[in-house]
Structure 1
Amino acid sequence: MVLLQWVGMGDLVWHVPYFRRVAAASHGGQVALIASPTVFAPQLVGHEPWVREIIDFDRHPRRHEGRRGRHRGVLGLFRMGLELREKQFDRIVLFTNYTNRSLVALTARIAERLGYGTTWLQRRLLSHGPWIERYTGPAVGTYEDATRFAMAHGWCDAPIVPSLVVRPEALARVKARVQGLPQPMHALCIGSSEPYKQWGTDNFAALATELARAGHGVLLVAGPAEHEMAQAILQRVEPTLRARVLDATDGSVADTVAAMSLVRTCLGNDTGGVQIAAAVGTPTWVMLGPRPLLAHDPETLHNLTAASLADIKPGDVARIALTA
């Protein structure tokens, strides 16, 4: 089995190509995937042939859920290990530099435990190397560490650009829903996991207005938690243009993957949606401001940087989209 340390959808997207390679080197060409429920693994990859089963590691629920994860804390880690012990796995590949995940593997009595080994304690708890040095460059390190780890173990010999497989039933569903929108369409990823990543309602409303005024269709893409924001954006769009803008915050994650495959561009906050868009091959621009770069797919995913997020102007982003 493989374990994903991180809790965002984009984190899963970055790891998918390496999970596929581990599966190819595993019994039956499949692995069990251990991941947080917050990454929506069943909808993102549950239909792919390399996935044998998905096991929830319920450690960090989303804030709006208002509950404690069943695997939170020391007792939660022990509980996770006991649950895995019943499954009698013989190998676990820990895509993590966290020592406590190795403790879970020990509790589960898994003989072969592979992981990054970026600390001396984690190395003591893993069965063997090779180890990696933690990435310290200018880009976001999550993908870089996963790449180094996969290369060190021979699952690949170079970085692999993330990709996702669109579910046919989701594609049919989304095509039917957007058939009334003008073409081409653009997706605006309006959600954000943290306030400092949020470009803002006014900016997205101005961008949607510019695109709609040019005769293009606009999808406002996010989860249900951003429904009110999507409605606020719609209210700021000129009434005569609102029919060209669709609130798509009520669809499933599988629907988001499908929608991203239908649009000309994706523009948005640093969130799972932009990672999904790039992974289905859609030209994508992410508003980063002064933060570390996303360097895993330089041909498809482009960073919009500035001294502050507020310095990225809707008119400039609209020109990018309209000339893409």
Structure 2
Amino acid sequence: MTHSSTSADQRPYTAVLHQFVGMGDLVWHAQYFREIAKQSRDGQVSVIASPTTFARELLGHEPWVREIIDFDRRPRRSEKRAGRHSGVAGLFRMGAELKPLGFDRIALFTHHANRAIVAWRAGIAQRIGYGTSVLQRLLLSKTPWITGYKGPAVAVYKDATAFMLAQGWCDAPIVPRLSVRPDALARMQARLAQLPHPLHAFTIGSSEPFKQWGAANFSALANALAGQGHGILILGGPVETELAQAIIAGIEPAYRHQVMAITDGTVSETVAALSLAQTCAGNDTGATNIAAAVGTPTQVILGPRPDLEHDPKHLHMIKATHLLDITPADVQKRLLKSLAITI
């Protein structure tokens, strides 16, 4: 895809490049990409992101997204392959692939100088980035730089916010939000129709073992909530199928008709399902951040890790010295409290 140089819209033809590989990281950036789109050709941007972020499922339906371009640098370990854009050669390959697209401007949401190499190789005249290293600044257009966040919370959203403010693309932090694809919403409404309400979603995935609360805890939480007549929706990807089965096996047989596990849905269907739940509780994973981004009161079973501060209204941390010190009763109490506020 190339753009027409004769377009009446003289705003810059723009790409945004997202550094990170997780869905949650992309969720934190989405609203900022939309703000840049408002100030770009045709009110759109091209989003360059890792396939592991599922950007097409999360953002591909948005009117401000011109296209999704894969930056295949760090595939999932389970794929057992090298990324097309891995290594130094991969960076130059990525730049060569972008060059024919003719971008006027690129916003690099990253501290890494190597992404600036991609933009330079692509021949993009205006290369705007964080500028937190001397090498990166040498490869970027001169614009206001930022200082990387060093506080107690997770830095990714903080740095993206500082970058947006420094460039004048927004005048205050923006809380991440996602829109739900209508077709996915219709499918999930039909699929979940038989579950009782209030409905609690459990997001059971985890990118690392130290983030995993465990099947026994999720089962105990499900038993406690189902015993009150509530519905339970267990959400994960295909790799969580066995875990979901273990959770269900730990739920009292009398309650299992109130429980559904979905590990075969698309990411857009997960977004839709989370929008239909009254609360969400889960590990520190992408789906948990998605729940908050669609406005569902969410409890992150976080343990001793840094806080997530991007959405204090919808995203709440349950912390302890050790993750497994957090009990099902702790989480149940938090969910019922947020439910009482919502209804």
TM-score (norm 2): 0.93
Aligned partners of 1:249 and 1:210: how far apart in 2? 23
Q: Which amino acid aligns with 1:48?
A: E
Aligned partners of 1:199 and 1:41: how far apart in 2? 27
1:136-285 residue pairs with structure 2 within 5 A? Answer: 136-285=150-299
Aligned partners of 1:285 and 1:207: how far apart in 2? 13
Runs of 4+ in 1 over 4 A off after TM superposition: none
Aligned partners of 1:52 and 1:126: how far apart in 2? 24
Aligned partners of 2:147 and 2:234: how far apart in 1? 40
Indicate the residue corresponding to 1:21 in structure 2. Answer: 35
Aligned partners of 1:130 and 1:31: how far apart in 2? 21
Q: Does 1:122 align with 2:136?
A: yes
1:72-151 residue pairs with structure 2 within 5 A? Answer: 72-151=86-165
Q: Which amino acid aligns with 1:191?
A: G
1:44-55 residue pairs with structure 2 within 5 A? Answer: 44-55=58-69
Q: CA deviation at 1:213?
A: 1.2
Aligned partners of 2:48 and 2:31: how far apart in 1? 16
Report the 3-state secondary structure (helix = DSSP H, G, I; strand = E; otherwise coil) of the residue aligned with 1:53.
Answer: strand
Report the 3-state secondary structure (helix = DSSP H, G, I; strand = E; otherwise coil) of the residue aligned with 2:261.
Answer: strand
Work out the percentage of aligned pairs sharing the same amino acid. 62
Report the 3-state secondary structure (helix = DSSP H, G, I; strand = E; otherwise coil) of the residue aligned with 2:119.
Answer: helix
Point out where structure 1 has 5 or more consecutive residues left out of the alignment: none
Indicate the residue corresponding to 1:62 in structure 2. Answer: 76
Indicate the residue corresponding to 2:312 in structure 1. Answer: 298
Aligned partners of 1:194 and 1:289: how far apart in 2? 13
Provide the alpha-carbon RMSD of the alignment: 0.7
Q: CA deviation at 1:322?
A: 2.5
Q: Deviations over 1:159-199 (max 9, x none)?
A: 00000000111111001001111111010010000111111
Aligned partners of 2:293 and 2:334: how far apart in 1? 20
Q: CA deviation at 1:287?
A: 0.8
Aligned partners of 1:298 and 1:36: how far apart in 2? 27
Q: How many residues were matched structurally?
A: 324
Report the 3-state secondary structure (helix = DSSP H, G, I; strand = E; otherwise coil) of the residue aligned with 1:127.
Answer: coil
Aligned partners of 1:110 and 1:320: how far apart in 2? 49
* Correspondent of 1:71 among 80, 85, 89: 85
Aligned partners of 2:80 and 2:228: how far apart in 1? 42
Point out where structure 2 has 5 or more consecutive residues left out of the alignment: 1-14
Q: Deviations over 1:185-217 (max 9, x none)?
A: 010010000111111111111111111111111
Aligned partners of 2:204 and 2:221: how far apart in 1? 11
Indicate the residue corresponding to 1:12 in structure 2. Answer: 26
Q: Deviations over 1:10-38 (max 9, x none)?
A: 00100011100110010110010000000
Report the 3-state secondary structure (helix = DSSP H, G, I; strand = E; otherwise coil) of the residue aligned with 2:127.
Answer: strand
TM-score (norm 1): 0.99
